[in-house]
């Protein structure tokens, strides 16, 4: 087993989990599709079918990209898609949440923000490494 495979498994599991928790209420703390759709709809100021489509697209992309990364297929596309997802998550969710929590005693938001930034940089680097010439 190579180090690259271990890295791919680690990243793949994170995003497979993220996709599944958007579909299955209670799955490892996930809110399920209705909760995720409400949250994502609120982020973008949309409701109904638009929120449903955004949530479905996000959950399926996370699942598919995680599976592709573990299997070693379409790595550039999978890494690029997840890099974009993380960039949106950082800008729309974690950065604003971190600044709201700046005076609190709860560092969970900041730890999550830094973790997302670290994962974003890893995925961006992997995307560049797999860029087709």
The domain of 19 spans 3-129
Residue 29: in which H helix or E strand, if any?
none
Residue-wise pLDDT tens for the chain (133 aa)?
A: 678 888 899 999 999 999 999 999 887 888 899 999 999 999 889 999 999 999 999 999 999 999 999 999 999 999 999 999 999 988 888 777 766 655 555 566 777 778 888 998 998 988 988 886 5
d(CA 110, CA 114): 6
Domain count, the chain: 1
d(CA 112, CA 98): 9
Contact 68/123 with Cβ under 8 angstroms?
A: no
């Amino acid at each position: 087993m190579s180090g690259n495979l271990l890295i791919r498994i680690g990243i793949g599991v994170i995003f497979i989990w993220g996709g599944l928790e958007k579909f299955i209420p209670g799955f490892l703390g996930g809110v399920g599709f209705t909760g995720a759709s409400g949250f994502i709809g609120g982020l973008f100021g949309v409701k109904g079918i638009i929120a449903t489509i955004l949530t479905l697209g996000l959950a399926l992309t996370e699942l598919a990209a995680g599976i592709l990364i573990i299997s070693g297929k379409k790595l550039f596309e999978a890494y690029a898609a997840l890099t974009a997802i993380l960039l949106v998550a950082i800008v729309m969710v974690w950065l604003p949440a971190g600044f709201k929590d700046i005076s609190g005693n709860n560092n969970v938001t900041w730890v999550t923000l830094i973790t997302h930034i670290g994962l974003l940089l890893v995925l961006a680097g992997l995307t560049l490494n797999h860029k087709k010439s």
